[in-house]
Amino acid sequence: MIYRIVQDIPGRLRLALTLPRFPAVDRCGVEAQFRDLAGVEEVSFSPRTGTLLVRHDRKRATRDAILERVSAAPIPPTRRPRPATELEQKKKTAVRAGLLLLARPLIPPPIRPIMAIYGAMPIFKRGAVALRERKLNVDLLDASAVGAAMATREFFTASLITSLLKLGEYLEEWTRGESRRLLSDMFHTGDEWAWVFRDGEEIRLPLEEVVEGDTVIVRLGGLIPVDGSVLEGEALVNQSSLTGEGLPVAKRKGLSVYAGTAIEEGSLRVLATQVGDQTRAARVVKTIEAAEAVKAESQSKSEEMAERIVPYSFLLSGLTFLVTGSLSRSAAVLLVDYSCAIKLSTPLAILTSLARSARHRVLIKGGKYLEKLARADAFVLDKTGTLTEATPEVADVVHFNGFTREFVLKQAACVEEHFPHPVASAVVRKAAQEGISHAEEHAEVEYVLAHGIASRLQGKRIVVGSRHFVNEDEGVDVSAAEPFVHQFADRGNSVLYVAVGGELAGLIAIHDPLRQDALKFLAALKESGIKKVVMLTGDNEATARTIAATLGIDEYHAQALPDRKVEVVRELQDQGYTVAMVGDGINDSPALSQADVGISMRHGADIAREACDVLLLDGTLDDILTARAVSREAMELVEHNFRTIVAVNSAALLLAVTGAAPPVFSATIHNLSTILVGLRSLQPLRKEVGASG
């Protein structure tokens, strides 16, 4: 862009830009081109005068960078007027109906019926569609109620019903939009553009034009717009939006970065590997938005009941006319129904509660699971990564049958390094700490799910894994290890067996410290109404018993393979329990799927995160309590709303049938109660999570 300096004082730079008058230049587009510059504090552009005001940190380098940017920056394209959204349309409709109702006393009486009919046309159209499709639903009931009011010349009543119905529709759409906005804000990747290095120059592109393989440039204070790997540069990146980590993480060449994370210091050139809807942040948002379709049982029942009530409203209206002969009373019955409030309040309460849990970094994948978590009375907990820190360390190494300690650790590390499991990482890390080099000497590595790893070393089969795998499956004599195994078990350590050529080569004791808040978490679970807590672990009986005793858990299952974990969950379900399963490993995924509600930590295996119904982004035990508190409060809100709807509308219906109140009064009571429960359903968006109990 061509510019002229109007004002240049320390910390303040005002420029006159030479821009075309037509078409008008997008103000936001101009300002956005300077906001990512280090040292820039505020940017303001006036399309009317064509002046750009930039406040900065008074550094000469910042001033020069601003002038360099304005010289190279392209003129942003004109932003086309966007079409009105459904929410905006409903807002306009509701406001227009309300204003017409308020202005009614000023409208000449002959015009009022015309205005009432005109305002009700959308309701009549929906009713006509329902009639054509032979459906006795709420649309037909609403149209009949408004039509009955007009037939009895209650035009004010018809206008009031129309206004309240439109207000209810706007309220519902606004709540859905507010919930989605909250999710977008949580994982927002910043401005909808990115700086990309193409054809030897740095250019600014709309985010939708960035493709895989592009080199994206992100500077101090900028948000990373893509998932990718660092090509060049060093930076401290705040990843709290995705991982919850409070401290920034150092990123350098070869490391991965994610969309929506922010650079607090430094700058990076990033090779884009996932863009747009494929980024991790976008997938999280899509997961929650998809959760709207997974309805809670109470929501499905409420909506089904709401539809079933409609025919009875018509029947009661007809009986009222037959008994009383009063068309006014008959119309008043149609003006009161339970369906509208039930269909509005229950899904809103569920949706806002899902958004509330997401705000607390707990992703619940649907109302169905929200409800089941609230009803859960048994928790099955996998030990590793749930009750422990998931940061195991090698506590000891024992060798047998002429093999050396260094050989055992070296060969175990050599095969374990191929698998990103916390225990495998602990073995590899221990070898590195002791300076043991474990160059590739083995043949292809075979992973046996939930058992261990097997390979070949100089023609001999080498196996690393559980006692069941080494002793029972591979037939290796492990009797010499018994004294050491008991010692390790008493300390709460897990044991890896290492065998070569059919002989026991050694043992590796693994210590995975218990979470500091595990005892408090278990106590809180029981206080919240959980009747049964079961611990599952792949450890041997003695180790499992020691850990269970430390945590005060009465029931545990040692050496639990994936099939056994599923059996435990199924047995509890057969006993009548609603089971929540918490796990994070590959071997936990079958049990997570079997449970009524599966809960996985963010650090878990990809398959576990996919199989779960609740994903804890921060991976803390408090998140489980948060999820349960949100779900229980959501179900209490649904029940409270239901009781209010039944009580208020039953009273209004009684007034209508007996003629104790005019139709307009019954209609007002009914519609105001609908709006009341709708507003109450918004409470989860404004509340903090209360006590878990």
Q: 245-262 burial by CB neighbour count: b if 16+ within 10 A, else e?
A: eeebbebeeeeebbbbbb
Banded pLDDT at 692 (limits 50, 70, 90): very low
The confidence score (pLDDT) of residue 403 equals 92
What residues act catalytically? Answer: 382
Percent of the chain predicted with pLDDT > 70:
82
- Which residue among 144, 168, 186 closes a domain? 186
Give the tens place of pLDDT for each residue, 643-673. 888 888 888 888 888 888 777 787 778 777 8
The CA-CA-CA angle for residues 87, 89, 92, to 5°, reads 110
Please check whether residues 528 and 506 belong to one and the same domain: no
The closest of 370, 362, 358, 363 to 685, measured between CA atoms, is 358
Chain-centroid distance, C-alpha 392? 29
Asked if 247 and 229 touch (Cβ cutoff 8 Å), the reply is no
**Do residues 400 and 507 share a domain?**
yes
Of 636, 620, 600, 597, residue with least CA distance to 376: 597
Q: What percent of the chain has pLDDT over 90?
A: 14
Residue 239, in any domain of the structure: yes
526 plus 599 within the same structural domain: yes
CA 635 to CA 87: how far, in whole Å? 27
Is residue 137 located within the same domain as residue 240?
no
pLDDT of residue 484: 92
Note the pTM of the prediction, 2 decimals. Answer: 0.62
pLDDT of res. 230: 93
Which segments within 473-584 are labelled E, that is strand?
A: 494-500, 503-511, 532-536, 555-557, 579-583
Tell me the average pLDDT of the chain. Answer: 80
- Residue 103 shares a structural domain with residue 149: yes
User: Quick check: helix, strand or coil at residue 246?
Assistant: coil
Write down which residue in 22, 38, 72 finishes a domain: 72
Query: Quick one: 507 and 524 in the same domain?
Result: no
Q: Nearest to residue 587, comparing CAs of 609, 565, 555, 571?
A: 565
28 and 39 within one domain: yes
- For residues 435-460, average pLDDT: 73
Domain ends where: 617, 638, 673? Answer: 617
CATH number at residue 208: 2.70.150.10
Q: Rank 130-134, 390-394, 489-493 by mean pLDDT and report only the highest.
A: 130-134
Whether residue 47 is contained in a domain is answered as yes
> What is the total count of domains within the chain?
5
Same domain for 411 and 506: yes
Q: What is the mean pLDDT of residues 97-126?
A: 85
Q: Does a structural domain hold residue 670?
A: no
Range of the domain at 466: 393-511
Report the C-alpha gap between 48 and 186 in whole angstroms.
Answer: 35
- The verdict on 500 and 444 lying in the same domain is yes
pLDDT the model gives residue 691: 40
Do residue 373 and residue 397 come from a single domain? Answer: no
For 607-633, what is the mean pLDDT?
A: 81
Q: Can you tell me the mean pLDDT for 177-202?
A: 66
Burial environment of residue 437 by CB neighbours within 10 A (0 to 12, 13 to 18, 19 or more): exposed
HSE-up (13 A, CA, CB side) for residue 230:
20
Tell me: the pLDDT tens digits for 621-640?
A: 888 998 999 999 988 998 88
Longest dimension (CA), the chain: 108
Give yes or no for residue 586 having a pLDDT over 80: no
Which CATH number goes with the domain that contains 385?
3.40.50.1000
Give yes or no: residues 524 and 612 share one domain.
yes
